[in-house]
Amino acid sequence: MKNALNLPQKRFLMKKYITLQLIAFCFIFSAKAQLGDYKSHTVYIYNFTKYIQWPATYQVGDFVIGVYGTSPITFQLRSATANKTVGTQKIVVKQYNNLASIDNPHILFIPNLQSKNLDAIKKKLVGKSTLLVTEKTGLAKQGSHINFILRDGKWKIELNNAEVEAVGLKVSNQLSRIAIPVR
């Protein structure tokens, strides 16, 4: 039986195959880059526990770091904070899958895909001293407390100190010095 495809059809299929492989490679590479990027986020978030002061009422029980929605950072935070404490408080990492489940975390990380929920999360946490950490351009100006941005190939943080102080948190001078201020 003779091959049913002519030369133009074979070329088209070959281009399509190469394009699909390129797309798959880019997807895998970007997924690995995102996972790698969360290593930096994880280090920053853990260090926030050292350079931010919570009110006395937050200095009892577990120190809760929350993640809103599904994100690779949850696993990395759990690994990085296993058997660690903030003062005498054991660090616990919780994943919140919906607004109603958010209780009273010390830190709440809102991944890019969940950033549309920032206003609703802020309303849910009115009167609470929860540090809101985001990773989408412009969110520090929209009310998040700390926002990750990529600048010159490195992760930096924007700090909205007015919003942080409004929820009763105090940022150390060391953290303020390395952050990009947002007003």
The 3-class SS string of the chain reads CCCCCCHHHHHHHHHHHHHHHHHHHHHHHHHHHHHHHHHHHHHHHHHHHHHEECCHHHCCCCEEEEEECCCCHHHHHHHHHCCCEECCEEEEEEEECCHHHCCCCCEEEECHHHHHHHHHHHHHCCCCCCEEEECCCCCCCCCCCEEEEEECCEEEEEECHHHHHHCCCEECHHHHHHCEECC
Instruction: Return the pLDDT at 17.
Output: 55
Instruction: Return the pLDDT at 120.
Output: 97
The whole-model pTM stands at 0.80
Low-confidence ranges of the chain (pLDDT < 70): 1-3, 12-37
**Domains, the chain:** 37-181 (3.40.50.2300)
Instruction: Return the pLDDT at 164.
Output: 97
Instruction: Return the pLDDT at 36.
Output: 47
Instruction: Return the pLDDT at 152.
Output: 87
Tokens coding 140:
């520090």
Instruction: Return the pLDDT at 31.
Output: 40
CA atoms of 90 and 73, how far apart (whole Å): 19
Instruction: Return the pLDDT at 24.
Output: 44
